[in-house]
Chains A and B, each alone.
Chain A
Amino acid sequence: DTAVSQTPKYLVTQMGNDKSIKCEQNLGHDTMYWYKQDSKKFLKIMFSYNNKELIINETVPNRFSPKSPDKAHLNLHINSLELGDSAVYFCASSVGQTYGYTFGSGTRLTVV
């Protein structure tokens, strides 16, 4: 039973399209995150929700919009995709701050 699951695993799409990535966790964690990992493996926090409340909203283009329908789900919608959006997007969840995060396996987004 996957703890943090993301779909889809791979996403290839054309510039200008709108796409969504879904994330679900079955760990009962209160906090969920979206990260972007670039080709050099650098990790950048994008958003974080705690019990459906947005607590981290880093400087990302407003074409990116998170949605948390309940504390087990955090989806990422991206409008008007650009070439520079190509990356691996990771969802993660945590309980408290000293137990670490549990990551999903990632969604590789390729914009052509």
Chain B
Amino acid sequence: GDSVTQMEGPVTLSEEAFLTINCTYTATGYPSLFWYVQYPGEGLQLLLKATKADDKGSNKGFEATYRKETTSFHLEKGSVQVSDSAVYFCALTFQGGNYQLIWGAGTKLIIKP
């Protein structure tokens, strides 16, 4: 079945370090891909998305490129801040389906000053 696999956390980095959180997917069709972020004590927020191969989503300094050949949607940021500490979720959905998102398990990111 369709699934999303994220790297296990927690990921601990120092401020201003380069961030990569890996996300790969298994899907029978051509999904839309999303990254959501959950700050402590809050609900999830859409961070960025990409709807077709080679699309790049970007927001708040984060980027992810939809790679169909490697079925990946890795999240990157050039210089992280303490305020980026959160749990990050990768997810996919299909056009014409029942609106359901398939979620990864989440990756906790801890940024130390």
Task: Determine which of B43, B95, B100, B105 lies in contact with A45 in the assembled complex, contact meaning CB atoms within 8 Å.
Answer: B100
> When the two chains form their complex, are residues A90 and B100 in contact, meaning their CB atoms are under 8 A apart?
no
- Chain B 64-107, CB within 8 Å of chain A: the 1/0 string? 00000000000000000000000101000111111111010110
- Chain A 79-112, CB within 8 Å of chain B: the 1/0 string? 0000000000010101001101111111000000
> When the two chains form their complex, are residues A43 and B99 in contact, meaning their CB atoms are under 8 A apart?
no
Task: Determine which of A55, A97, A103, A105 lies in contact with B95 in the assembled complex, contact meaning CB atoms within 8 Å.
Answer: A97
State how many residues of chain A have any CB contact under 8 Å with chain B. 23
> When the two chains form their complex, are residues A105 and B43 in contact, meaning their CB atoms are under 8 A apart?
yes
| Chain B contacts for A90, CB-based, 8 A | 43-44
- Chain B 22-52, CB within 8 Å of chain A: the 1/0 string? 0000000000101010100011111001010
Minimum distance in angstroms from A43 CB to a CB of chain B: 5
State how many residues of chain B have any CB contact under 8 Å with chain A. 26
Minimum distance in angstroms from A23 CB to a CB of chain B: 11
A50 on the B face (CB < 8 A): yes
| Chain B contacts for A103, CB-based, 8 A | 43-45
> When the two chains form their complex, are residues A41 and B43 in contact, meaning their CB atoms are under 8 A apart?
no
Q: 6 closest pairs, A vs B, by CB?
A: A103-B43, A100-B46, A41-B106, A103-B44, A105-B43, A98-B32
Residues of B within 8 A of A (CB): 32, 34, 36, 38, 42-46, 49, 51, 87, 89, 93-101, 103, 105-106, 108
